[in-house]
Chains A and B, each alone.
Chain A
């Protein structure tokens, strides 16, 4: 997504909320500097007794320049490189039983909260991405929109995507369970903050943003849909994301490549 929308912060929050919070000290603010190249962070998380290795790749923001043509190239290149790596392993004569899978199973695309509509840059980027990877659009920094504005913005985004025939995850064609229709989520994350308790020292520590007019809690579903996003990526739809990547996106890549040669 574009520069300065909180992508790197979200990567941290994703892990903080699953991994223990013991590491952070109260009141300490973590400043995330500008990301300048692709960075992957891997954590082992445990879900329902099963250990998983989760790799999150953070990308530098784009769209800063006056002429942003082809700003999607580095990211598309990265995704294709992972497919290539897998393909190479797969076509070996003696190949490993379990091929190391570094393919990108899901791509979270950050949309700026202008509240109006999707910009041409976002549309073009998502259009290209959705052809090769599962795209999950997310409205970033949602604390800048009131609930009404959010609902409207979401609707407009969904309309725009449909109008341009951009199919984001979960794609309609593979939808068996209609309840799985995931909406665009909204995210806002920051430093852990001590929520003032009722004077008895029973203040709970919550992940959130402190402002003069209130505290925005990241894990409060009334405030933002971060928990929904996290659950979608890591719990409920993890397997589905992997399956679609393997059966659909990877296969089309493979066909394209084999036809080339």
Chain B
């Protein structure tokens, strides 16, 4: 989960976990201060969905974009992604391949600020730097600051800008024809909602006689798990039902890309030289001819 500082990434991760772990647990009502994330933190949890147990590792990244000059601020994140690929490649090439642990990043939720007029140049640069390494799912953070109309406008704006800059984001596959109607409808709905507008919270608020997770304002309560208030549930559903596909695309596309580039460089690490993709394409073409 990555994005600018202060967009609620860490809070959202907690929201994701709390949903499934302990539904009856009492959470203290006082504001839980989320401290600033200063380095990449990975937490693993086991969740159950549709009778299937899944092991989910969520990686929280420090926000960037704070500095006046943000030229190299997301290097750590890119290194992290590459490191996981590197490790897998190493394990895969080893002698004992029975117990390879797959720590590769299968999905990246990119948080976009709701305050601007769309994507910032920093967002574009970052996404272009990772769209060939990982599945990107754009997410609009702190969505309770936008009215429904504003959300629609911003979603469309962002999708237009993504296309304009040639950024490749993850596309949900259409439902198979043999799946039931509900599932097909759900998939259609999910596809139409990207980028998801989310609101995260760790606090339990009393609303309409029951306790819900949300944010309490003087003018009302924003409920995290209310589909009319935000797309949190959609995000969670998408993550779980499409986990298989996310893994497959990572294996078949992103990992293979990484592997072929890596082996071509003859075992030298990424930092050692700039790889000129155009150059390689030309060489390949010449080879084919």
State the A residues within 8 Å of B (CB). 2-5, 29, 34, 64-69, 112-116, 119-121, 124, 140-141, 143-144, 146-149, 152, 190, 209-217, 222-223
Residue of B nearest to A6 (CB): B115
B233 at the interface (CB under 8 A from A): no
B121 and A214 contact, CB distance less than 8 A: no
Q: Chain B binding site: helix, strand, loop or mixed by DSSP?
A: loop
Find out whether the CB atom of B116 lies under 8 angstroms from the CB atom of A4. yes
**B31 near A149: Cβ-Cβ < 8 Å:** yes
The interface residues of chain A lying within 8 Å CB-to-CB of B222 are 213
**Chain A hits for B148, CB < 8 A:** 211-212
Chain B residues within 8 Å of A149, by CB: 31
B218/A147 in contact, CB under 8 A: yes
A66 touching B71, Cβ below 8 Å? yes
Asked if B45 CB lies within 8 Å of chain A CBs, one says no
Q: On chain B, which size bracket covers the interface?
A: 35 or more
Question: For residue B114, which residues in chain A have a CB less than 8 angstroms away from its CB?
Answer: 144
Known: A2-B115, A213-B219. A144 touches B121 (CB 8 A): no
> Which residue on A lies nearest to B73, using beta carbons?
A66
Residues A68 and B116 in contact, CB atoms below 8 Å apart: no
**Can you offer 16 A-B residue contacts whose CB atoms are under 8 A?**
A2-B116, A65-B121, A66-B125, A68-B68, A113-B115, A114-B7, A119-B66, A121-B67, A143-B217, A149-B31, A152-B31, A209-B147, A213-B220, A216-B219, A217-B219, A223-B219
Instruction: Determine if B125 and A4 form an interchain contact, defined as CB atoms under 8 angstroms apart.
Output: no
Q: Which residue from chain B places its CB closest to the CB of A64 in the assembled complex?
A: B120
The minimal Cβ–Cβ distance linking A146 to chain B, given in whole angstroms, is 6
A68 / chain B contacts, CB cutoff of 8 Å = 68-70
Question: How far does the alpha carbon of A114 sit from the alpha carbon of B64 in the complex, in Å?
Answer: 13
| Contact flag A124-B217 (CB < 8 Å), given A29-B149, A141-B115, A141-B145 | no
Pick the residue among B6, B215, B223, B228 that contacts A114 (CB under 8 A). Answer: B6
- Which of B's residues lie within 8 Å of A, judged by CB? 5-7, 31, 33, 36, 66-71, 113-117, 120-122, 125, 142, 144-145, 147-149, 215-223, 228-229
Q: Which A residues are CB-close (under 8 A) to B66?
A: 119-121
Q: Check A67 against B116 for contact (C-beta < 8 Å).
A: no
In the complex with contacts A114-B5, A149-B31, A64-B116 CB distance below 8 A: yes
**B34 shortest CB reach to chain A, Å:** 9
Complex Cα distance, B219 from A29, in Å, reads: 21
A123–B144 CA distance with the chains assembled, in angstroms: 27
